[in-house]
Structure 1
């Protein structure tokens, strides 16, 4: 028996009947299985080794180039993975699938966080980072071949946000683990930036979730595990659902849409908007691999794919190279 086959057999013996089983996973393009890794493990590895995942280390979570200790999209994805795996293990669900979805859920996110997402949505009429993440893994990676991930992983990536519902319990975990991570860690970064203090939190959040980041994660994760065990589905208690809803509304009002960060958001929007318009007018200035895709995807989608993929720092560099004069030091 191969190592992979032993792992697949162990899944049937040890995991919940509600767990996704790697042996049953399917890909759009059939391929020979690995001797050692299950299909979900291979999904995880392909995502980690992708260019899109590497770029996440230079993409903003909330605070644009604010210092060494603020979250990026990559650290956020790793934190979602850790939270998701804890929940999956406790509920005897598939950790490998949970991890793959978590690591891939934001690979299509724009530079400059949701400011970049919002401006592309306005310019094109529709842009959503969850849908772009699916495009990245399905079509854009590996020179346009895509990663050929399992349908379970791709479904979890697509439906971690938006109106769709994940088809697996593992996908449902990441839908909520993503929220747990960004609420707690964006709150933590906000305190580091001296924008929020623990006493600023709504009373129900302080009472039901807490004020210490680590304990807040523990409170929400513990509630999910206990509630999900009872319900046979991924859920929270009524009290925690109410507290998390209040927490999320508070963070949107106090941070994500706050006047304190309006200047940075405006600058980010301006950069992305100007780059988008420039490449729409000058598609020959995009890298050759993107120029070659115009016949397949059309000009606008190709420009979206390029602009959505660049990092914060590269966006600024491109903007300077294109629009700023090469002013140097004058020598007498």
Structure 2
């Protein structure tokens, strides 16, 4: 097709092949109408944890406006981009989508602020990590089936969920990347005793597509939300060369464009340029590697689905700009400091008074030793929506907070 840089069509030899899945921890009969990864996707969408994402913070709290992204709308955008990449690169679209849909299931209320608070209060009990918590959600905390805890997802979906950002350990078994110099999260080591997810290798191309889709989605939508919140300006975006080039092209083609249309066009072109760059770069890396199986991708020694050097630099510059002007803006930080305090105080209250927990969680907490009781309380807190956490705070402390 004229102008096409991705081919689509029949699944490539280096894609994950549904008929060759390594199966599920608890064997189940296959479906006559769906592949393993379609079933995984459907189980994730129907899970309680997925529904709760609608009231979990991405950057701005739910009560700051109806048009800001939540964890749910962010996840849907990531899944759409992941499918687009998978289609162009002839990967398994359903697996890429399943990993994208599951990647944030372990996030706490109030986004990374809640995660920081839980990690601090859990310091003596293995800490808290949202990626490990996502694994815990889909392998233990969802309780929907009569024969097992969790969603019993396929090996390939679990592998992608855990390793979508790259290997977790080196050849010596020690943590690398974000886990360098510290133990792996408890949820990861505990699950490794049940099923080997090969933590020292890269993930499939499908999971890598989901990971880079996450980067593209939040680069674009945090620009949009930052502009909507008044923290960013069209003039300020010009500080980033990548964004300046896009804006100059828009102004040349559409002089005098109204600000809302200008912002939407910037976001649209950011997504388009990044997706097209990933497709071109990935096709070049695939051609150089000449993989004949999904395992060839896993053992390539580097990410195969990736930005070019130029776009990787642009991605870093956009993220740096957003960190300075949105994530670290005093207006946002003030709210997040209050949110951290809410999560911290809730944990302390549940720890000192397990009777304050709902009945099912209360029974578990009273029967467990300290490390497992702390983890149960962290599980309960991590599953909360922003709205529910604030209601619990008001109930337990007879006080309200507007987090402002």
Q: Fold-level match, TM-score > 0.5?
A: yes
Deviation digits for residues 229-252 of structure 1, max 9, x if unmatched? 111121211110111111111111
| 1:288 shift after superposition | 3.2
Q: In structure 2, how many angstroms separate the alpha carbons of the residues matched to 1:259 and 1:236?
A: 32
1:203 aligns with 2:257: no
Q: In structure 1, how many angstroms separate the alpha carbons of the residues matched to 2:240 and 2:149?
A: 50
Name the structure 2 match of 1:4: none
Q: In structure 2, how many angstroms separate the alpha carbons of the residues matched to 1:209 and 1:158?
A: 34
Name the structure 2 match of 1:141: 142
1:36 aligns with 2:33: yes
1:157 to 161, 182, 188: 161
Alignment of 1:254-265 (within 5 A): 254-265=325-336
Contact 2:15 2:205 in 1 (8 A): yes
User: SS at the partner of 2:270?
Assistant: helix
| 1:206 shift after superposition | 1.7
Name the structure 2 match of 1:23: 19
Q: Structure 2, unaligned stretches of length 5 or more?
A: 1-8, 169-200, 248-262, 287-303
Aligned structure 1 segments of 4 or more residues deviating by more than 6 angstroms: none
Distance 1:227 1:76, change over 3 A: same
1:14 aligns with 2:10: yes
Contact 2:16 2:206 in 1 (8 A): yes
CA RMSD in angstroms, aligned pairs only: 1.9
Contact 2:165 2:208 in 1 (8 A): no
Once the two structures are overlaid, the 10-residue window that deviates more, 164-173 or 99-108, is 164-173
Name the structure 1 match of 2:226: 190
Q: In structure 1, how many angstroms separate the alpha carbons of the residues matched to 2:167 and 2:95?
A: 21
1:132 aligns with 2:128: no
1:226 aligns with 2:250: no
1:240 aligns with 2:311: yes
Name the structure 2 match of 1:306: 380
| 1:281 shift after superposition | 1.2
Q: In structure 1, how many angstroms separate the alpha carbons of the residues matched to 2:45 and 2:25?
A: 20
Q: In structure 2, how many angstroms separate the alpha carbons of the residues matched to 1:325 and 1:128?
A: 29
Name the structure 2 match of 1:215: 269
Distance 1:17 1:276, change over 3 A: same
Q: In structure 1, how many angstroms separate the alpha carbons of the residues matched to 2:246 and 2:160?
A: 26
Distance 1:162 1:236, change over 3 A: closer
Q: In structure 2, how many angstroms separate the alpha carbons of the residues matched to 1:36 and 1:88?
A: 21
| 1:270 shift after superposition | 1.1
Contact 1:155 1:166 in 2 (8 A): no
Once the two structures are overlaid, the 10-residue window that deviates more, 296-305 or 178-187, is 296-305
1:289 to 318, 336, 360: 360
| 1:308 shift after superposition | 0.5
Q: In structure 2, how many angstroms separate the alpha carbons of the residues matched to 1:166 and 1:273?
A: 35
Q: Structure 1, unaligned stretches of length 5 or more?
A: 1-12, 327-332
1:49 aligns with 2:46: yes
Name the structure 2 match of 1:268: 339
Q: In structure 1, how many angstroms separate the alpha carbons of the residues matched to 2:112 and 2:78?
A: 18
Distance 1:209 1:298, change over 3 A: farther
| 1:61 shift after superposition | 0.4
Once the two structures are overlaid, the 10-residue window that deviates more, 173-182 or 292-301, is 292-301
Alignment of 1:74-89 (within 5 A): 74-89=72-87
| 1:254 shift after superposition | 1.5
User: SS at the partner of 2:77?
Assistant: helix
1:318 aligns with 2:392: yes
Q: In structure 1, how many angstroms separate the alpha carbons of the residues matched to 2:333 and 2:225?
A: 17
| 1:289 shift after superposition | 3.0
User: SS at the partner of 1:298?
Assistant: helix
| 1:255 shift after superposition | 1.4
User: SS at the partner of 1:35?
Assistant: coil
Aligned residues: 314
| 1:208 shift after superposition | 5.9
| 1:162 shift after superposition | 7.5
Name the structure 1 match of 2:120: 122
Q: In structure 1, how many angstroms separate the alpha carbons of the residues matched to 2:164 and 2:319?
A: 16
Name the structure 1 match of 2:57: 60
Once the two structures are overlaid, the 10-residue window that deviates more, 162-171 or 279-288, is 162-171
TM-score normalised by the chain length of structure 1: 0.90
